Amino acid sequence: MPGCSKSILIPAFNIQKNLNEKNKIIEFTPDKSGTFNIMCSMNMYRGTFIVLENDGTKSNYFETPSATGGSCSMGGCGCGGMK
């Protein structure tokens, strides 16, 4: 795991976790369904994940991606400037 990708944020569920080789699982019980953002603390590494409704159907909710976050063009976060 390079630099800032070790610090994971899931804003919709108020989760922030620092990962390492021995602790690389994020466990939580979601209290809402939809498509949600997951990102590193600098918002360089980004993705989404889907939480289904209790009946297994997909919700129409889609969290708007965050435009805020840092930049790592100079490699200051420890990732070597990789994008």
Structure tokens given for 17? 């976790």
pLDDT band, very low/low/confident/very high, at 2 (cuts 50, 70, 90): low
Mean pLDDT, the chain, as a whole number?
Answer: 84
- Provide mean pLDDT across the span 37-44: 93
Q: Is 53 in contact with 33 (CB distance < 8 Å)?
A: yes
Model pLDDT, residue 4: 78
Q: Is 19 in contact with 59 (CB distance < 8 Å)?
A: no
- Domain parsing of the chain, residue ranges: 1-21+30-65
Model pLDDT, residue 67: 62
Which of 82, 55, 83, 79 shows the shortest CA–CA distance to 7? Answer: 79
Return d(Cα 26, Cα 16) in angstroms, integer.
9
Structure tokens given for 4? 């800032």
Name, in order, each residue with C-beta under 8 angstroms of 43's C-beta and a sequence gap of 6 or more.
66, 68, 69, 70
